[in-house]
Amino acid sequence: QVQLVESGGGLVQAGGSLRLSCAASVRTFSNHAMGWFRQAPGKEREFVAGISWSGTSTFYANSVKGRFTISRDNAKNTLYLEMNLLKSEDTAVYYCAAGVVMTMKVSEYDYWGQGTQVTVSS
């Protein structure tokens, strides 16, 4: 079974940066496309960024493009999200997800972490 654990969230000032990590507990990590999603209170979970299993293809939500960077280290079974120029609108619980293919659809991902809180002060 694929198990994902996010870390790196916290409180940061607007304009600052955070680096989120997602560690997979099983070796199947390298065979899955990965994605980052976020969910603010009262809102639907939304796509943030995705990356193919090989790491050669990435895709970003328009709201974060140019500010966030997704990457993965298959040897370490770890996914990353570098977040720069953070805005108060980025405040949410961020979730790591794994699936067979890289898409921006929540329903297409098979495994989810428990989330890590990111709070950006205005």
Give residue-wise pLDDT tens across range 67-118: 999 999 988 989 999 999 999 999 999 999 999 888 999 999 999 999 999 9
pLDDT class of 27 with cuts at 50, 70, 90: low
Q: pLDDT exceeding 90 applies to what percent of the chain?
A: 81
Helix, strand, coil percentages (3-state) for the chain, rounded to 5, are 10, 50, 45
What does the pLDDT read at residue 49? 98
What does the pLDDT read at residue 106? 94
Question: Closest Cα partner for 113 from 101, 99, 105?
Answer: 99
Q: Distances in Å between the alpha carbon of 22 and those of 47, 84, 96?
A: 16, 18, 6
Question: Closest Cα partner for 46 from 113, 9, 98, 93?
Answer: 93
What does the pLDDT read at residue 54? 86
- For residue 122, pLDDT beyond 70: yes
Q: Which two tokens stand for residue 10?
A: 């916290």
**Using DSSP, how many helices (H) and how many strands (E) does the chain show?**
0, 11
The arithmetic mean of pLDDT across residues 16-23, rounded, is 97
Question: Closest Cα partner for 37 from 96, 99, 112?
Answer: 96
Over its C-alpha atoms, the chain yields an Rg (Å, rounded) of 13
Rounded CA-CA distance 23/44 in Å is 24
